Every structure is written in structure tokens, then in C-alpha cells.
Copies of this chain bind each other. A is one copy, B any other.
């Protein structure tokens, strides 16, 4: 790897923070939009490079790049709107016990942020992806650790980001790029870094989480690690539309060759319904497709062998033995009693185009198994109108950050109400990595007590010069 050292990049980020910490939302919005425009302008080159390195098709990559630049523009819009600052003013109340001073609170940027690119989203969760966009939007310089599965795309995207930021006058060092596993470890430990965004495996993520928590000054580690994304189909739904459900599931499981963190890995269907066979038929026997990397393909094959070797699991479609570097879909089936007897072996994530259909004899039993899976990004129920869903929704809401009542979990809209994050191990559970509120991860509150008007950030001045929503003496007020 050529390019500047980590020490240099981190030091530049620290210096840039001295400017970005007090930068205006309007300026940062310009930076984000400039990056989006630059990436859009270079779309064909970037998509070709991404297709070559990731083996994802160019139509998928075209959509992903559009989503990535849309994401940058959405954050630009959100920071100008200003609610994200949680600006709050309490005027003095000398008569209260104890006397209340003038207190004005808002969120401020945390400091330089380390962003780890994901293998499976070379645009949307990589160099200029959601973590980078939300950290820059917050006013935090970013140091990206590029992914080894798409090194040339990383370098090229980073160069375009730097060019766009330079051209619109963003501070030097506000964005940096490094590569290599050892550099990633050093990055998490670097004193200048104040938070980490990570999308990747449970194993790698846990190791970095432990480093972040083990620092002399622990820093937040926002990891998106592993999700099984359970689906529960009621008997009534299956009776009403088995074919449609099988087709929808097959499409979701095989989308992007199964390499989505929201891939529905375990589906609960009523016993004796023959749903696994319907899914097998819908999946068909497509040719193996290349995976993101040799390592990911090998892990898929290993996990399939583990699953197929388990008593009580049948392979309904596809081959357990896979071609090196590639993957073809597999449909397996088992029962809730088998699953509940050995949940950790049967319910672990299988990253690739595989689905385990679990036949249940009672909904309660299926919910016990869903609880045994633990935290997921999503949980889905397919039911018919009028069915009582209280118990089901309670469990799905307990294990996941997004609960779906129709459709399939792949495809994550970038919007204000999105939630991409659930209980461990899907993520740490109190924040999202997709959608506008992802920005909250990179902010910390500061209150100013009895401050002269002139030293206050504009967002907290009495006259509200930027016209943002604020809470004043306890009352939320719109500009």
C-alpha cells in the first residue's frame, strides 16, 4: 500500500476537526452534495470497477450507487433542517430550588471517526457510504479503512471524495483512506479516533469491538455484525398465498447471491405445508455465481456442510458441495424441535443464498425458536388480515430493529424512519446505521451555562438565526 501513513492520516483528521467542530451545517451540506455530484459524474467508471472487483452485477451496482449519493444528499438536507442538534434552551429560573441558571444544550461532533468498509456494499457501506456520510454530516472527520475485497474501487472512490471536498473548500484532512488489516487494528486504537463504524463479520467485529472497549479511553463502536432475519408465516397466510410467498422468499434469498445482511436466513412455516418444496421449486437450479471473495464463498460452503451434517436437517434443493469462489442456492428444512434442541448450531447466520425452512406445529414453539436466534436486523411476519398478532409482534419487536408485515427484508430504504440495527449480535441496539438518525452516533451533547450570547453557537442564540426547531423552556417549538 502506498499513500500516507495512518499516523499522518489520523493527525490530519485531528487537525481538520479543529475546523469541522464549528463548521456550519450549510457548509457541510455543500461538502456532502459535492461528493454526491462527483460520484454521480463518475458513475460508469466506478460501477465498472465495482463490478470487476465485487462480481455484483452492474444493474445492482447502479442502484447501489444511486442510493449512496441519495444518502449523501439526504444527510445534507437533514443537517440544514437542524432538528438533529436537539437544540434546547432553559431560561433561568432564579426562584426554583436550586436556582436554575440559563442552560442551552445542543449536540456537537464527537471527533474523528474510523469507518470500516463492508465487502458486500462496495458503495453504500464503504468509502462514501452511510457511516462516512453520517459522520461528515455530524461534523466529524472520517478515516476509512478500505475493504480488501475491492481495493482499487476504494482508492478510486477515496480520490474522488478528496477531489470533491478540496474543490468545495472543505478543510484538509477531513477525509482520509487507509488499507490493510493491521492498519485497521491500529486505527481503532489510535488516540485521535473518537468512534468507529463497522459493517462486517461477527468474528472480526467482535475483535474490533473489544479493542475499542479496551482502550484506556473506551470509544463507541457501532458494529453491524450478523443477522439471521427470521420470518414467520402463519397457516392462514400459507393457505391463502403459498406460491406467492415461495416466489417472494426465493427472490429475497437469492438477491445479490444472498450477500445481504438482511437476507432472510430462517423461515418458520406450518408443519406439513410442503413450503420448503415450494421454495425449492421457486429457487430452481441456477448456475453458481461468483461470491464477493474466495473467503466468503468458502465460509458459505463450510456453513452449509455444518448445517447439512446435522441430524434432522434435510437439503431440499441445491448442492452442499459448492464450487470454489462461487455459490448456488440451497434450501434446507428442519423442525422447531430440532432447532430448539441445538439452537446455536442451527440458527447461526449462513452468509450466502441459503435458507432454512423450519416447520412448526404451534406458533408458540416458533416464537421460542425465534427468541433462541437472538438479535437480528429484521424480523418478518406474513399473516392474513384480521389474525391476532399481539404475541408475534411482541417477540419480533424484542429480537429485531425492523419488523415487517409484508414483503421481504432485503432492500433497506434510506429515510427518516428507517431503523437498521437490533439487539446483539446484529448491532449494538440503541442506534441505527441507515437513515437520518444514524448521525446521532457521532454527536455528543454540550450544555452552555450562563453563556454570553456572542460565544454561543448560532443554533443556541436567542434569536434563532438559522431557524431550526428548538425546545424552549420545555416546549418544542418550530421556527
Contact = CB atoms under 8 A, between A and B. Distances in A.
Nearest to A374: B217
Query: What band does the interface of chain A fall in when counting residues whose beta carbon is under 8 Å from B?
Result: 35 or more
Given A21-B398, A103-B415, A430-B441, 18 more contacts: A66-B97, A89-B417, A90-B416, A98-B413, A101-B404, A101-B413, A389-B452, A401-B446, A402-B446, A402-B448, A415-B474, A416-B474, A419-B445, A429-B444, A430-B440, A430-B444, A469-B476, A476-B478
Interface in A19-70: 21-22, 63, 66-67
Contacts of A209: 213, 218
Contacts of A310: none
A185 to B, nearest CB: 17
A455 B101 CA distance: 44
Interface stretch (A150-158, A238-246, A334-342, A420-428): A420-428
Contact of A449 (B374, B389, B404, B445): B404
Q: Taking each of A210, A394, A413, A469, which has the highest tally of chain B beta carbons within 10 Å of its own beta carbon?
A: A413
Contacts of A90: 413, 415-418
Contacts of A423: 217, 444
Given A97-B66, A445-B401, A417 B88 contact: yes
A451 interface: yes
A451 B404 CA distance: 7
A105 interface: yes
Contacts of A398: 21
A6 B430 CA distance: 26
B446 A419 contact: yes
